[in-house]
Each structure stands twice: as structure tokens, then as C-alpha cells.
Structure 1
Amino acid sequence: METKDKFLSFNLGVRDTAVISLQYITEVLQVSLPEICGVPQMPSCVLGIYNWRGEMLWLVDLEAMLGYPPISQGANLLSKMMAIVLENNGKYLGLLVRQLIDIEWLETHQMKPPSAELFYPKISPFLEGYFINESEDVIFNLDAMTIIQAPIWKIHH
């Protein structure tokens, strides 16, 4: 049986590609650093709060959270970054990513289970699994629910 799902693909770090299932994505928007209101005493991957449709949206540097060098360090003040807004039970979280690639249909039954040896320790808890595409690249399938429910946010909800 063919089971295809729609995913949004984007770059992680310089070489990696990741996807998140579209069912958890509410919106994708462009954000620039001056629009983000920094919040003191936060983990370094938490960039702060952004005013989104009149709501406070927490923005996270996804690369920093997963153990890559932070995107926000390389960004100058004028550069626009893409934020992927995840939603779960009325809770929203914005993930800042380097660059969106595409919307892809992937065969969910071809997803391989994550194995700790293959990936950075920081990324493993957030992986649902991974795909190997036609050019034999690994595509990380990130688990939106785990990201939204990460202990790191518990302090603030």
C-alpha cells in the first residue's frame, strides 16, 4: 500500500536537509532579526518573541537547538530568515530555518528508524526517522510534536 505524506523540506546546516510533516505547519513567514524581541535568561537557541497575528510567537533557532552552529550568528540585521510555525493544541512555536526548499510527497513506509550512531546526539531526540532520496542523501524527518513539547519550553507555558 502506498502511503504518501506531504512534507516541507528545508536546509539544516550547510549540507543537511530536513523535513517536517505539513500537518503540523500552520504558516511559513519571513522574519528579520530586529523584529524579534529578545528575552533574557533563555537557552541560547531561543531567539525571543515575535508579534505574529497579534499573538506572541516564540522563535527558536532550529539549527542551534539541534546542535548546529546558530543561524542567527551568521545573519546580519537585514537578512530575512524563514520561520516555520508549528501548531499543536493551540500552542504555537516558530522554527527559524536557513532556507526552505520545497513541498515534497514522501513515502512514509520508506522512512527508516533513527539510529543514534548516525546522528548528532542533540538531533536524535527530535527525529522521527529519516529518508534516503534518489541521490542517496539522508533527509531528516523531524518530529514536530517532540519539538513543541521539548522540556526547554516547559518553563514558559
Structure 2
Amino acid sequence: MQTSALTLNSDQTRGNLVAPQKAPGDAYLKFEIAQGIQAVIPMHQVQEVLVLPPQRLTAMPNMPACILGLMHRRSRVLWAADLSKLLEVGSLDPSPRQYDLMILRTVSTAIAIAVERVDGILSIPPETIQPTPSHIAVNLIAYLRGCVLQSQDFLLVLDAESILQSAVFQGHQPFQS
């Protein structure tokens, strides 16, 4: 199976991929973290979305359970991690045919995050993002900007910066650009 990718840049996410006319609100990538847990992340924090067979990941010994391994992408070596294990809300299929990955990027760090499924791009007006409800697990709060109810879906609004600053990745930065 070949790698397939969708590279996202700011012009595409604000124009062609969201809608022919700019919808009110900011662009977010919608995905399923684990079975039944839906989330969004701001598009400006997502560099790329791709599908990758597990054979393209190199497992590394003595790493936290959420680390799937190392991958090579566009002349860079990146960690690939299971977001559901990182957030302690479940885990992905242990023997998948392929991984749905999002490459999250900040100024100095990029990490591939595996999720159950990538659903597409949404436009979310900032005023519709609500504070995190009290019933959300404590381990998730550090990674959330809030939540939003859209079309009967309860969506967690994640922050890539917080994910990339997770203690799991500190001291495990392979080769940063």
C-alpha cells in the first residue's frame, strides 16, 4: 500500500478545501480520537494529513506506550504517536492496515499523531467554543481549548501546542528542523 497525503497550506484551507466562499469562523480539522470520541484541531496547527501503512513506522524500544515509532517524511524524521493512548481515552487497533496521521507542527517541533479517522474540515466561529465541562476527564483538560456542539456532535477542541509540549515528548525529540 502506498502512502497517500493531503498537504494543507493556509491558502488552501481558507479557500478551496473549506468552501468556495469563506465560511464564518476558523478552519478546524475534524477527526475521531478513539471510538466515539470526536475532536477538532485548528488547521493552522496541522501541516499535513496522510495515510501510512504500519510497515513505514520504525518501532523504538523502551518508549512510552503511546509512541508508535519513528517515520521519515519530507527529509525529516518524526515521532508517530497514538493520540488516544497519549490522552488516556483508549487505543487504536493494535494491527491496523493503515494509520490516519496528522502532522502537527509548531515553530520548532513536528510530530505525527495517529487517530481513528480523519473526517474533514469544519468552520467553527470562535464564539461557539465553550469552556471545558466539568465532567471531562482531568487528564484531557491540559490538552483542550474547550468544546463545541455542532450538528448534534460534541467535539473536543484540542490544542496542538499542548500536545507537542506533553511530558511524553520531552527528551524524546529525534531530529527537529
Q: What TM-score does the superposition give when structure 2 sets the normalisation length?
A: 0.80
Per the alignment, residue 36 of structure 1 pairs with 57
Letter in structure 1 aligned against 2:160: A
SS in 1 for 2:84: helix
Work out the CA distance in 2 between the residues paired with 1:150 and 1:3: 32
Identity rate, percent: 23
Q: Which runs of 5+ in 1 are unaligned?
A: none
Work out the CA distance in 2 between the residues paired with 1:16 and 1:70: 11
1:121 aligns with 2:138: yes
Per the alignment, residue 6 of structure 2 pairs with none
Choose between structure 1 and 2: higher helix proportion: 1
- The Cα RMSD (Å) is 1.6
Letter in structure 1 aligned against 2:171: I
Per the alignment, residue 72 of structure 2 pairs with 51
Letter in structure 2 aligned against 1:23: H
Letter in structure 1 aligned against 2:42: S
Letter in structure 1 aligned against 2:76: E
Work out the CA distance in 2 between the residues paired with 1:121 and 1:45: 18
C-alpha spacing 1:88/1:114, structure 2 compared with 1 (3 Å): same
Which of 86, 101, 119 does residue 119 from structure 2 map onto? 101
Q: Does the 8 A contact of 1:67 with 1:120 survive in 2? A: no
Choose between structure 1 and 2: higher strand proportion: 1
Letter in structure 2 aligned against 1:8: L
Work out the CA distance in 1 between the residues paired with 2:75 and 2:32: 28
Work out the CA distance in 1 between the residues paired with 2:82 and 2:53: 13
Work out the CA distance in 1 between the residues paired with 2:87 and 2:24: 28
Work out the CA distance in 2 between the residues paired with 1:62 and 1:151: 14
Per the alignment, residue 170 of structure 2 pairs with 154
Per the alignment, residue 129 of structure 2 pairs with 111
User: After the TM superposition, which parts of structure 1 deviate over 3 Å for at least 4 consecutive aligned residues?
Assistant: none
